[in-house]
Amino acid sequence: MGGKFRARPGCVVQAYKFALDPNAGQERALRSHCGAARAAYNWAVSWVTASWWQRKAEATYGIGEEELTPWRPWSLPALRKEFNRVKSTEARFADWWQENSKEAYSTGLANAAAAFDNYAKSKQGKRKGYRVGVPRRKPKRKARLACRFTTGTIRVEPDGRHVTLPRLGTIRTHEPTVKLLDRIQAGTARILSATVRHERGRWFVSLQVETAREITRVARPDAVVGIDLGVKHLAVLADSSGEIRYEPNPKHLDGALKLLRFHSRRVSRRQGPDRRTGQKPSKRWEKANRERNKLHHRVANLRTDALHKLTTRVRAEYGTVVVEDLHVAGMLRNKRLARHVADAGFGEIRRQLTYKGRRNACPTIVANRWYPSSKTCSNCGATKAKLPLHVRVFDCDECPLVMDRDENAARNLVALAAACTTGTGVAGDQGADTAPKPRGADRKTRRQRPGRNTGRGGRAGGASLPHQRRKETGDRRQDTEAQPALW
């Protein structure tokens, strides 16, 4: 089907995701493959950790280190070799392992190998982020249904409405696959793998494709935009030409809360499942639960659609985008803000802006987490020591500027892009706030006068250098400036 794929220097790997409409038999096969992946994962976790517990028990008997049970490896080749040895004899696999593709078991073993690698790197301090614990078995009621195919027959059918997967056969898609089919027939795309997943009440297939993508020129390649995310307004955009744009927050979850409360009360009044007593749910409970889940899925789909439209529109217009490094996990610990922050999707906005910028070869600048964009005056550069969240208007103490705090923050983010390239302006003089604190000092913002920290209004004046300011204030810290991350 189509011409032969011709690799080009501009080839990228991207995914094409389509909803599926499987029949009853195909859905049973999909669930069987995903269950096989979960069973292989649980077997790998149990097989590796069994040697850990055995060594721990032997150590209590006074057995020397040399005589302890050897560690079992968790690399993918080792797990595959051991699994192929025991799959025909072990009781949990002997009767049904032949019903599914070998790719289902490879999916579970690969996930287990990655989980143990993440745990080892986290324990050794080689992995960023939160501490990763020992991999645990996946319970059937909570595990996400997913399976990945890397070999076998994976193709998009010429009719544009079906995909073919190994052992699953030809499955109808809910939406046309013409977008990918045209690239494959033109010889500019090649399918690498396919992943089936059950989420939001539907089955999806994600086809990982190597394709030749041409760089699309944005409408204003020299323009810079600073984006301040918030709850009142989803985003406040300030560009280098001085234009300000407010993006309203759709608040999809807030609009559905009244109906969600009604459905939740109806579900709670019917006979649901109880694992302690083995009680099965009634038909009326299952029907009510489906209606409630359908509403949750609709809210999630609306949110995803709105975020994609926003980020695509921004990336198609501006050449450089400046965003903040928000501590979203910390915001979710605030019980008064958690629901609104989660509904806004701050982390997803930054992720989409970053990868969509790579498509057009446009940079994304991420401001330092401790950069006081809301507390700094965008006119004179003075910095407030405190600015509570309930104060929505920024009133500068040094100049007559009175402005919405979100608009002021967006203007400061635009200045950050200029500071990255020229080394001047408000954003370039944040070394005093971002330098290492060997004595354990806090990260509180100190009040700064405009003469010490010039902004866009004082950029032409004689701004003092960072090491000169430290000498005047008697600060002995190293002359270290925190550079924002640039992709």
Catalytic site includes residue 228: yes
Tokens read off for 342:
């989660």
- Active-site choice (103, 239, 324, 343): 324
C-alpha distances (whole Å) from 469 to each of 56, 360, 420 are 57, 40, 20
Residue 223 CB contacts under 8 Å (≥ 6 apart), including other chains? 239, 240, 241, 317, 318, 319, 320
What whole-number distance in Å separates Cα of residue 210 and Cα of residue 192?
7
What whole-number distance in Å separates Cα of residue 311 and Cα of residue 316?
8
> Phi then psi for 239, rounded to 5 degrees?
-105, 175
**Which amino acid type is present at position 326?**
L
Tokens read off for 19:
């909803």
For residue 212, what is the enclosing H or E element?
A: strand 202-212
**Which amino acid type is present at position 292?**
R
Catalytic site includes residue 103: no
Q: What is the DSSP string of 79-120?
A: HHHHHHHHTTTSHHHHTTGGGS-HHHHHHHHHHHHHHHHHHH
C-alpha distances (whole Å) from 439 to each of 194, 220, 466, 475, 478 are 52, 46, 20, 12, 13
> Phi then psi for 357, rounded to 5 degrees?
-70, -35
What whole-number distance in Å separates Cα of residue 401 and Cα of residue 102?
66
C-alpha distances (whole Å) from 16 to each of 60, 176, 424, 481 are 54, 12, 43, 41
For the beta carbon of residue 36, count every other beta carbon within 10 angstroms.
23
- Active-site choice (406, 407, 429, 433): 406
Q: Are 201 and 294 in contact (CB under 8 A)?
A: yes
Residue 328 CB contacts under 8 Å (≥ 6 apart), including other chains? 341, 346, 347
For the beta carbon of residue 293, count every other beta carbon within 10 angstroms.
14
Catalytic site includes residue 324: yes
Catalytic residue list: 228, 324, 406
